[in-house]
């Protein structure tokens, strides 16, 4: 297996290098970012074939056939972290919680693993040996987590299970007094992994305050500028642009509207001045009535201009991000991560959101479904209590407009009835304003689903209701896993009502 680069949602990146019996994950950001991850860690990864696939021998039933990992299998891969390489304690403080640090490393490792080519989903069993391949049962892609190496600690595996990162099919307390029973068959499935909020596990080590923070701006003490990976252009050094007091309020505070240059480190949903995970669970439910509809009190959306989702899309080579639209007369500056190549169409970054909407809604392709621009279009969208307006961006360049809403209080909820609209079902409206961004539907479509399912575990389905003559978009929805429930006659349109349920979703597109 050749060297690979994995880019995390927060802008950090790692090189993944094959080593004896496994892989070494090395941070590429340690010498270029003030808030770096540990230098790296090694994992042991191998494939343990079923007894039926092992070569015949006298002890085939008791000795599994273990081979080196080359590509993922459906359920036969085994993984554990074997060693950790921490940075010098002179530069960074040790992790406050070693368990959190190991959980972060395991999450990054799984993030890499579930970006690998998907294995065939067919299950081979004695009961289906005479069934044609097309009719054999299908299984769920998962990887087994072995209680070995760094993960051998008595309480570590139980803690990782309680954090929701790993799971087991044995849900009994067990009768063994040493508590060793039931913790040997842990796993993570792909479907399970992509519903885990990354903000629950990603964090950074805190620089040692007893030493100067920079040897030059944006670089840890006594470090040198990082070298690009083979085949990648060198990254220009970027100067810091916002004060520490301003950065300490992010994320969650309104982003600054004036920047002199690009920040040295990405500021988005994962950034934390306290170097702690930025995930907060949703509030407990409190119900109210609105227009004779009983529904939960909704949490406030992110603030105007705030980025709430980022992810690197490998097929495009750019970071996809979503932020809340803003009424600011100035362009909202992008402070999040960008891909390895400078973005094109950067002139769009100089336009305010109002100007972007005027430009996009003047396009006949868009206005055919949305109508023309109205002066209070964005004001009304921002004032809604059950939805919020969103600008989609590729490497910080705006390309489209979205509205994410709660179905129960929306017009859709009234038309499908309370029996078909659960309390935490979400939906979205969309138009793509830029022609150059068309053809990238699956990444942003599945990313909206990804954010919705990670934002609240109680959201069980995502709903859409495009106009029935929007054939192309409906086809994209079906490719992404949405299925038609029925057609709905709104006063202004005949709609194709589709739904994607949580248990039918495998993960976002790459």
Q: What is the pLDDT of residues 2-37, one digit of tens each?
A: 779 999 999 999 999 999 889 999 988 764 444 444
Q: Taking the alpha carbons of 283, 288, 289, 295 in that order, is the dihedral positive or negative?
A: positive
The Cα angle at residue 201 between residues 198 and 207, in degrees rounded to 5: 120
DSSP state of 488: E
What's the rounded Cα separation, in Å, for the pair 93 and 370? 53
Helix axes 471-479, 441-455, angle to 10 degrees: 60
296 φ, ψ (degrees, to nearest 5): -70, 150
Per-residue pLDDT, 238: 37
Task: Considering only residues 420 and 115, tell me which one the structure prediction assigns the higher pLDDT.
Answer: 115
Q: In the structure, what pLDDT confidence band is assigned to residue 88 with cuts at 50, 70 and 90?
A: confident
What's the rounded Cα separation, in Å, for the pair 431 and 366? 7
DSSP assignment of 362-395 equals: TSHHHHHHH----TTHHHHHHH-SSEEEEEEEET
- Of 306, 409, 434, 465, the active-site residue reads 465
The Cα angle at residue 63 between residues 59 and 67, in degrees rounded to 5: 130
What's the rounded Cα separation, in Å, for the pair 113 and 243? 37
H or E segment and range at residue 428: strand 426-432
Cβ count near 484 (within 10 Å): 12
**pLDDT surpasses 50 at 368:** yes
Which fold would CATH assign to domain 281-504? Aminopeptidase (3.40.630)
Cα-Cα-Cα-Cα dihedral of 376, 380, 383, 385, to 10°?
180
DSSP assignment of 7-65 equals: E-TTS-EEEEEEETTEEEEEES-TTT-SSPPPSEEEEEEEEEE-TTTSPP-TTTTTS-E
What's the rounded Cα separation, in Å, for the pair 413 and 463? 10
Tens digit of each residue's pLDDT (9 = 90 or more) over 54-74: 444 444 455 678 999 999 999
**pLDDT surpasses 80 at 263:** no
Q: In the structure, what pLDDT confidence band is assigned to residue 250 with cuts at 50, 70 and 90?
A: low
Smallest CA-to-CA distance from 304 within 372, 249, 383, 198 is with 383
**pLDDT surpasses 50 at 349:** yes
465 catalytic per annotation = yes
Which pairs with CB-CB distance under 8 Å and at least 24 residues apart come from 97-102? 99/156, 99/159, 99/160, 100/201, 100/203, 100/277, 101/38, 102/150, 102/151, 102/156, 102/160
Q: In the structure, what pLDDT confidence band is assigned to residue 159 with cuts at 50, 70 and 90?
A: very high
Smallest CA-to-CA distance from 78 within 103, 43, 52 is with 43
Domain boundaries, the chain: 4-120+138-200, 281-504
Smallest CA-to-CA distance from 29 within 201, 206, 227 is with 227
What's the rounded Cα separation, in Å, for the pair 317 and 339? 6
Per-residue pLDDT, 95: 81
Q: In the structure, what pLDDT confidence band is assigned to residue 412 with cuts at 50, 70 and 90?
A: very high
What's the rounded Cα separation, in Å, for the pair 36 and 299? 32
Q: How many residues does the chain have?
A: 510
* Tokens 């106009």, residue located: 467
């Amino acid at each position: 297996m050749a060297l690979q680069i994995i880019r995390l949602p927060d802008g950090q990146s790692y090189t993944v290098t094959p080593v004896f019996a496994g892989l070494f994950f090395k941070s590429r950001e340690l010498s270029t970012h003030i808030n770096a991850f540990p230098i790296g860690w090694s994992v042991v990864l191998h494939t343990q074939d079923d007894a039926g696939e092992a070569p015949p021998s006298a002890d085939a039933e008791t000795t599994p056939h273990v081979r080196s990992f080359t590509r993922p299998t459906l359920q036969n891969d085994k993984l554990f972290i074997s060693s950790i390489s921490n940075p010098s304690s002179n530069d960074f403080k040790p992790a406050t919680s070693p368990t959190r640090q190991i959980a972060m490393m395991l999450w990054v490792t799984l993030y890499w693993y579930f970006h690998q080519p998907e294995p065939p989903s067919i299950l081979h069993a004695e009961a289906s040996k005479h069934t044609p391949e097309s009719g054999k049962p299908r299984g769920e892609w998962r990887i087994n987590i072995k209680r070995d190496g760094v993960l051998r600690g008595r309480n570590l595996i139980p803690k990782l299970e309680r954090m929701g990162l790993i799971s087991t099919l044995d849900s009994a307390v067990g009768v063994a007094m040493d508590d060793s029973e039931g913790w040997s068959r842990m796993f993570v499935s792909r479907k399970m992994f992509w519903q885990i909020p990354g903000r629950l596990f990603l964090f950074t080590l805190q620089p040692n305050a007893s030493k100067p923070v920079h040897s030059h701006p944006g670089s840890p003490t006594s470090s040198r500028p990082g070298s690009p990976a083979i085949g990648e252009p060198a990254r220009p050094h970027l100067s810091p642009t916002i004060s520490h007091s301003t950065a300490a309020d992010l994320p969650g505070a309104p982003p600054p509207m004036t920047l002199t240059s690009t920040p040295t480190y990405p500021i988005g949903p994962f950034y934390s001045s306290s170097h702690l995970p930025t995930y907060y669970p949703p509030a407990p439910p409190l119900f109210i009535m609105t227009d004779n509809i009983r529904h939960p009190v909704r949490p406030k959306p992110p603030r105007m201009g705030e980025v709430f989702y980022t992810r690197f899309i490998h097929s495009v080579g750019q970071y996809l991000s979503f932020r809340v639209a803003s009424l600011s007369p100035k362009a909202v500056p992008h402070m999040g991560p960008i891909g390895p190549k400078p973005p094109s169409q950067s002139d769009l970054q100089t336009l305010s959101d109002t100007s972007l909407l005027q430009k996009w809604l003047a396009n006949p392709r868009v206005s055919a479904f949305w109508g023309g621009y109205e002066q209070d279009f964005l004001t009304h969208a921002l004032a809604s209590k059950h939805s919020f307006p969103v600008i989609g961006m590729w490497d910080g360049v705006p390309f489209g407009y979205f509205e994410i809403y709660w179905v129960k209080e929306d017009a859709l909820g009234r038309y499908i009835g309370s029996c078909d609209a659960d309390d935490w079902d979400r939906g979205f409206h969309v138009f793509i304003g830029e022609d150059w961004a068309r053809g990238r539907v699956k990444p942003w479509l599945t990313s909206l689903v990804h954010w919705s399912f990670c934002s609240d575990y109680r959201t069980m389905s995502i709903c859409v209701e495009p106009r029935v003559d929007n054939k192309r978009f409906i086809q994209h929805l079906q490719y992404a896993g949405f299925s038609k429930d029925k057609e709905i006659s709104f006063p202004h349109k005949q709609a194709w009502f589709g739904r994607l349920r949580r248990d039918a979703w495998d993960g976002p597109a790459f």
